[in-house]
Amino acid sequence: MNEKNTFFDFKTIFAIVLVSVIWFFWQQHLVQKYPKNYKAQKISAVENNNNTKKQQQLLSAISKKAEQTKKTHKKAFAKKEKLFFVQTPFLSFDISSKGMAIKNVVLKKYKDHKQKNIRLGDEKSQFFSSFLYDGEDLHFHITPISKNQWKGVANTSGTRVEKVFTVKPESYSVEVSLKVKSSNKAISSIGLYTKETLSKEATKLSSFNDTKKIFISNLKEKERWSFSEETLLEETQNTNKTISGIKMLSVGSRYFTSVFLEKSDLLSNVNFQILKQDNAAKIVYSYIIPNNKRNLELKYLTYFGPKSNAIFAKVDPQLSDTIDFGFFNGTASFILKLLEWIFGFVHNWGLAIILLTVLVRTVLLPINILSFNSMKSMQLVQPKIKALREKHKDDKVRLNQEMMALMKNHKVNPLSGCLPMLLQMPIFFALFQVLGESVELYQSPFIFWITDLSTKDPFYLFPVLSGLTIFLQQKLTPSNLEPAQAKIMLMMPIVFTFFMFGLPSGLTLYMFVNAGLGLLQQYYFVKVKA
C-alpha cells in the first residue's frame, strides 16, 4: 500500500493560503514588469476580430496620411502656432490653433511626490487635434464666445471645419461640438488624434512616472491594456492597430486619465500607433469617423482628471468604466463605497480602514467563535494525538486514519480554523486593488510617518508588527504538526513580513489591525474564557 498523507490541519491550510497570496502578488509583479507578454493575446484577439477589408483600407489610408503629413508638415503649419490659455478651479490647459488641440493639461487639485501639480503628458503632448484624411491639416482661427466657450474655424480646400469648446468650470470636462461642411465633395472621414512622446531621459526625470493604462469600449466588448513606460521604450518594433465601433477611449495612468466619450451615436474607429524614434517613442491615438457626406456634426465629451467615481457621477456615469479593480471588481467597488461612507464621519482614510477592519471582524465573529471552539477542542485531544504519533510513527497511513477517527469522535474539525481566513481573502485582495487604484487614497495621510496610504510604510513598522502578531497567533494555536513541520511554519511570519515590505501602507495597516484583533479574540476565547 502506498503511503499517502490525507490529513490537512490548520497550519497546512494556512500555508496553502499564504502561497496563494504570494502567487497573486507575484502575478501582479510580472504584469507590471513584463506587461507586453500579458497583453499580447488580448490585443491579437482584438486585431483578428477587426481584420476586415474596410479596416485594411482604413489602415492604408492612415499610412498614406502619415507620409503626406511628413511631406507637408512645414507647409501646412507655416503659420505660427497660437496658444489660448484656459483656467478653471480644477484644471488649466492651452488651446492650440494647430488642429484646435488641447495641450499642457495641469490638474490644480492634485500634486505629485515632488509637490508639483499633476501634468497629463509633457510639453509635446496634444489631445484631440482635428484633421481631414483627404485634405490638409487644419489651422484654426480661435475666438472666445463667452467666459467658458471658445470657437475655432478652419477653411481648407473648400471645406469649413467649426469646433466649439464648452468648458465646464465645476468639473474636469470639456464638451466639444465639431461641424464639417464641404462645398465641392463628400468628406470621406475626419479624425482627432492624441499624441504623446516618451523618452528614456524624460522617464527618468519625470516627477510622476506611472503605468500607462488604456481602456477602450465599443458596442460589443471592453478592452483594457496596460504597459510601463520602460517596457514601451524597450520595444523595438512599431505598432499599428485599428479597432472599430468605439464609443469611449481612456488613456491615462493608475489615478489620472484623459477620456474621449462620443455623444453623437456615430461609430468611430481608433487607430493605435507606437512609432519608435531612437531613444524615444511616439504614441498616437487617432479617432476616425467615416462619413461620405458633405456635412458632418460630431459631439463628444473630453475629460482630464482623476479616476474618481464621485466625480464621474457628476460628469457622466459611463466614465466609471475607466476604473479597473480586476477580478474582484464587485467586492472592491463595495469596499470603496463603504470606506467613503466611513470617511464621511471620521475624515481620515487611515481611521476609515481601521473601522472597516473592526466591522469585518465583527461580521465574522460568529464564524471566529466556531474556530476558537475548534481550537479548544484541539487542545483537549493534543495528548491523544501525541500518543498516536508515538504509536504509529512508522506507519503514516495508519496514523492519519487514527487521527481522522479521533477528530470525528471528538467532533473536532481542523478546517473550521481556516474558515475566517478564507472568507477574508476576497476582502484582502479587493482592498489591495482599492488601495492601488483609487485616487481617493492617493497621497492621503494617516498619522506621523504615514503621509501617503497608497505607498509603502517608510519605516516598515506595520509589516514588522503584523509579522510579530501573526507569530503570537501561531503560538496560541494548538498544533498537531510534527516538529520539522512546526519549525517550517514558524518561518511563515518572517516570510510574510518581508512580503509586506513593498505593500501600500494602507494595506499593511489593515493587516496589522486585523491580526491584532484576531490575536485579542483568540486570547480571550482560548485562554481567558477557557
Distances in Å between the Cα of 485 and the Cα atoms of 317, 326, 341, 400 are: 53, 35, 44, 15
Look at 167-171, 219-223, 251-255 and tell me which has the smallest mean pLDDT. 219-223
Select the more confidently predicted residue: 351 or 293.
351
Return the amino acid letter for 383.
Answer: P
CA atoms lying within 13 Å on the CB side of residue 9: 20
CA atoms lying within 13 Å on the CB side of residue 124: 11
Please provide the size of the chain in residues.
Answer: 530
Does 41 have pLDDT greater than 60? no
Predicted pLDDT of residue 524: 83
Q: Is 99 left (phi over 0), alpha (psi -120 to 50) or beta?
A: left
Query: By percentage, how much of the chain surpasses pLDDT 90?
Result: 23
Look at 145-154, 202-211, 338-347 and tell me which has the smallest mean pLDDT. 202-211
Query: By percentage, how much of the chain surpasses pLDDT 70?
Result: 68
Distances in Å between the Cα of 264 and the Cα atoms of 118, 300, 301, 352 are: 31, 7, 10, 42
Look at 29-33, 72-76, 194-198 and tell me which has the smallest mean pLDDT. 72-76
Predicted pLDDT of residue 205: 34
Select the more confidently predicted residue: 200 or 172.
172
Predicted pLDDT of residue 42: 39
Q: Is-contact 212 35, C-beta < 8 A?
A: no
Q: Is-contact 237 281, C-beta < 8 A?
A: no
Does 30 have pLDDT greater than 90? no
Select the more confidently predicted residue: 6 or 306.
306
Does 47 have pLDDT greater than 50? no
Grid coordinates belonging to 495:
516570510
Q: Is-contact 273 286, C-beta < 8 A?
A: yes
Predicted pLDDT of residue 45: 36
Does 233 have pLDDT greater than 70? no
Predicted pLDDT of residue 301: 93
CA angle 236, 238, 242 (to 5 degrees): 145
pLDDT band at residue 518 using 50, 70 and 90 as cut-offs: confident
| Positive or negative: CA dihedral 55, 59, 61, 62 | positive
Predicted pLDDT of residue 85: 94
Predicted pLDDT of residue 56: 53
* Closest residue by Cα to residue 213 from 156, 253, 163, 160: 253
Predicted pLDDT of residue 364: 82
Does 29 have pLDDT greater than 90? no
Pairwise CA distance, residues 444 & 442, whole Å: 5
Distances in Å between the Cα of 383 and the Cα atoms of 68, 317, 380, 406, 480 are: 86, 62, 7, 12, 10
Predicted pLDDT of residue 319: 92
Average confidence (pLDDT) over 192-204: 56
Average confidence (pLDDT) over 455-479: 86
Predicted pLDDT of residue 51: 45
CA angle 429, 431, 435 (to 5 degrees): 120
pLDDT band at residue 466 using 50, 70 and 90 as cut-offs: very high
Average confidence (pLDDT) over 13-19: 59
Average confidence (pLDDT) over 130-146: 79
Instruction: Walk me through the domains of the chain, giving residue ranges and CATH numbers.
Output: 10-27+332-528 (no CATH), 34-76+83-315 (2.70.98.90)
Predicted pLDDT of residue 186: 67
pLDDT (tens digit, 9 = 90+) per residue, 78-104? Answer: 578 899 999 999 999 999 999 999 999
199 strand-pairing partners: 280
Select the more confidently predicted residue: 221 or 146.
146
Predicted pLDDT of residue 348: 95
Task: DSSP letter for 97, please.
Answer: S
For the chain, how many helices (H) and strands (E)?
15, 17
Average confidence (pLDDT) over 441-449: 89
Does 485 have pLDDT greater than 70? no
Look at 16-30, 322-336, 359-373, 472-486 and tell me which has the smallest mean pLDDT. 16-30
Q: What is the DSSP string of 395-419?
A: -HHHHHHHHHHHHHHTT--GGGGTH
Select the more confidently predicted residue: 295 or 49.
295
pLDDT (tens digit, 9 = 90+) per residue, 249-282? Answer: 888 888 899 998 888 876 667 777 777 665 556 6
Select the more confidently predicted residue: 366 or 66.
366
Average confidence (pLDDT) over 3-12: 46
pLDDT band at residue 304 using 50, 70 and 90 as cut-offs: very high
Let me know if 363 is exposed, middle or buried by CB neighbors in 10 A (0-12, 13-18, 19+): exposed
Range from 158-167, 403-412, 474-483 that averages highest in pLDDT: 158-167
Predicted pLDDT of residue 248: 85
How many C-beta atoms surround the C-beta of residue 199 within 10 A? 19
Pairwise CA distance, residues 159 & 190, whole Å: 11
Select the more confidently predicted residue: 105 or 61.
105
Does 173 have pLDDT greater than 60? yes
Predicted pLDDT of residue 48: 42
CA angle 256, 262, 267 (to 5 degrees): 130
